């Protein structure tokens, strides 16, 4: 099975072409995109928004640090 659909391919192609021509801009700031990776990310994001076949974004990997200790500090004696 293919990971990505036709819509994803066309969106990424369009984003790459725009980047090459210097017309691709990012999000709110509207800064010009020069990075290849960023252009691909924008294309995939647009395809995802329009319901194309694109895998979900990978979340950050968490480091398992064992159990966390509850409460701390010294034990105090009353009296």
Classify residue 25: in a domain, yes or no.
yes
Its pTM stands at 0.65
Other beta carbons within 10 angstroms of residue 40's beta carbon come to 16
For residue 28, give its domain range: 6-49
**pLDDT over 70 at 65, yes or no:** no
Total domains, the chain: 1
Classify residue 34: in a domain, yes or no.
yes
Which of the pair, 63 or 13, is modelled with greater confidence?
Answer: 13
54 near 44, Cβ under 8 Å? yes
pLDDT band of residue 63 (cuts 50, 70, 90) is confident
Classify residue 42: in a domain, yes or no.
yes
24 near 18, Cβ under 8 Å? yes
């Amino acid at each position: 099975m293919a990971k990505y659909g036709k819509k994803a391919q066309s969106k990424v192609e369009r984003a790459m072409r725009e980047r090459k021509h210097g017309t691709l801009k990012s999000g709110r700031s509207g800064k010009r995109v020069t990075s290849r990776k960023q252009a691909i990310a924008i294309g995939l994001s647009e395809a995802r928004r329009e319901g194309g076949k694109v895998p979900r974004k990978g979340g950050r990997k968490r480091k398992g640090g064992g159990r966390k200790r509850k409460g701390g500090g010294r034990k105090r004696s009353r009296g």
